[in-house]
Amino acid sequence: MKFLRHLLIVSVAAGLGLAVGFAWRGTTARDSKASEFSGAIAPKPTDSRMNSFRATRKFTILSAHDDSPLATQLERDLSMSAGVTRWLYWLEGIEKASLSDFPRLARLAKGDATATRLLASRWVELDLRHLFDTLAGAQDQRGLPAEELASVLFHEWPKRDPDAAIAALSGTNNFGTRETWRWYVAGLLAERDPERGLRVLSEWRIDNFVPHMPGLAQWAAANPRHAAEVTLAHPAGYASRQALETIGKEWAKTEPAQALEFASSRPGKFGTTLANNVLRNWARQNLKDAAAWLAGADVPTRHRLSPALVEAWAKHDANGALAWSESNLAGRGFARAVGGILQVVAQADMTAAAGYVADMKPSPARAEAAAAVAANWFPGSLSGKSVPPAAIAWMGSLDAESGKRALEQVQWKWSICDPKSMAEYLAMTGSERVHTTADFNLARALARQDPAEALAWARRLPAERGLAAGREAFAEWLRSQPQSAMNWLGELPSSDPRREPFLRYVVR
């Protein structure tokens, strides 16, 4: 009944406006030639303003082939009216309109937000599906205020008949706007009913959207196993990840062991997400029991879930977390766990974390620990900060494999935030400590600022690295300034070792 409320409000406003107008006309009627006309339209005390307005209307005879005589008449009336009178024409037209009139009325309302919303509200009251079919079937929507109509339609439809709304949008997506409608409806459904929302997101393959789900925790707490089964059976990208994090938190409060048995037996990334969140929350509540459960799990499960346990443990007892890792893990699993522990330690005390890595013996665990410390020590790509000289010196002091792993972790952001210090480090570092991608990242970053400087830097590198890095710098230059790059290449002497491989790149 929203339309009737809109109608009542606008009618009252219109009546007040007319009353003021009639009163003013009454005071001037004695001196005006228009007094007779004013008297003719003055309402009787017992009549409503709308009825008085209707009594004075004169409808034009319309041609028989007109697809909406009502819309044609309204368009004429609107062209000759203003102010409150226009709204009375609109309200009468919308109230009298049949479904076949609405498309023409919608085109007439385009550009007038209030008229469009009144029209859409009435259309929704009469027939939701007819409005949808009109929007979906229009070959040319330029004449329709489609966005405004769809906003009203899809705000109301999921509330009134969610199954019908889902069915309507589950057909073949043969027009681009339907994808936007799906996002909107899925968000509203998830907000009102997380389970239905997750099912729809999965059915429509919407993976990169996280809806607002205020009822998620309550749904998860009521029956966490059911919630987990539904979420795992209907994967929906980010929304599923958010749901599993909440489910893991709620399930860990009541049945953490059963939750881990369930989650650890589910393959794939979402099963691991659920298990990690259960274990992480259980460790916060009862570290001893959580550690005992994981120590008793099979080796693949223990290695897969250990980072969640030791990272939660390391926040208050890094040495205890390391001792547990040494006793229960080996190989790659141990290396990953140590990396996770050092990540936590570095966030709290960078000096202590760097010192611990420096004291470790060369090993895969040391390499992962070095990567974790470097990730926290080197500033972000958009920070505008230079890399601390101590961090560069520390990385250079590590064994080749650990230094290479640490560089791999930070090479991209280092090339952006402080390319000059990275250029010096790479020029002075042996090839066994450098991934070629580090040279390439820096070559492109330098070339975007100064191609000549980038090419000069590449010549400082060992022969093969220098040629490869120089080609990357030249390629970046060629993309942004092709004429300048080709002029430079043409001026290279035939004896320059760069000439032939660079030219082959251009031809290819």
Q: What is the pLDDT of residues 310-327, one digit of tens each?
A: 999 999 999 999 999 999
Handedness of CA 341, 432, 420, 464 (dihedral sign): negative
**Mean pLDDT of all residues belonging to the chain:** 86
Cβ burial of 487 (10 Å; 0-12, 13-18, 19+) is exposed
**Cα separations in angstroms, 410 against 83, 179, 341:** 65, 38, 18
Q: How far apart, in whole angstroms, are the C-alpha atoms of residue 397 and residue 376?
A: 18
Q: How far apart, in whole angstroms, are the C-alpha atoms of residue 168 and residue 181?
A: 11
Instruction: For tokens 């062209």, name the residue.
Output: 79
User: What is the SS3 assignment for 315?
Assistant: coil
And the tokens for 287? 């570290």
Instruction: Please determine, for residue 5, whether its predicted confidence score (pLDDT) is greater than 90.
Output: no
State percent of the chain over pLDDT 70: 85
User: What is the SS3 assignment for 461?
Assistant: coil
Alpha-carbon 395 to chain mean position: 36
Alpha-carbon 124 to chain mean position: 30
pLDDT of residue 30: 36
Length of the chain as a residue count: 508
Instruction: Please determine, for residue 174, whether its predicted confidence score (pLDDT) is greater than 80.
Output: no
- Measured CA angle at 424 (ends 422, 427), to 5 deg: 105
The highest-confidence range among 9-18, 38-47, 161-170, 236-245, by mean pLDDT, is 236-245
Instruction: Please determine, for residue 210, whether its predicted confidence score (pLDDT) is greater than 80.
Output: yes
Give me the mean pLDDT over the 70-74 stretch. 93
Instruction: Please determine, for residue 212, whether its predicted confidence score (pLDDT) is greater than 90.
Output: yes
Task: Name the residue ranges covered by the structural domains of the chain.
Answer: 15-54
pLDDT of residue 176: 56
pTM (global) more than 0.75: no
pLDDT of residue 267: 87
Q: Cβ–Cβ contacts within 10 Å for residue 324, how many?
A: 21
Q: How far apart, in whole angstroms, are the C-alpha atoms of residue 93 and residue 187?
A: 34
And the tokens for 359? 């004291």
pLDDT of residue 139: 52
pLDDT of residue 317: 94
Instruction: Please determine, for residue 61, whether its predicted confidence score (pLDDT) is greater than 50.
Output: no
Per-residue pLDDT band for 173 (boundaries 50, 70, 90) equals: low
And the tokens for 134? 């009109």
Q: How far apart, in whole angstroms, are the C-alpha atoms of residue 287 and residue 277?
A: 14
Instruction: Please determine, for residue 24, whether its predicted confidence score (pLDDT) is greater than 50.
Output: no
Asked whether the beta carbons of 146 and 135 are under 8 A apart, the reply is: yes
Using alpha carbons, select from 136, 156, 75 the residue that is nearest to residue 110: 75
Q: How far apart, in whole angstroms, are the C-alpha atoms of residue 270 and residue 266?
A: 8
pLDDT of residue 23: 36
Using alpha carbons, select from 1, 7, 15 the residue that is nearest to residue 118: 7
And the tokens for 188? 């509203």
Using alpha carbons, select from 174, 166, 123 the residue that is nearest to residue 144: 123
Q: How far apart, in whole angstroms, are the C-alpha atoms of residue 339 and residue 368?
A: 5
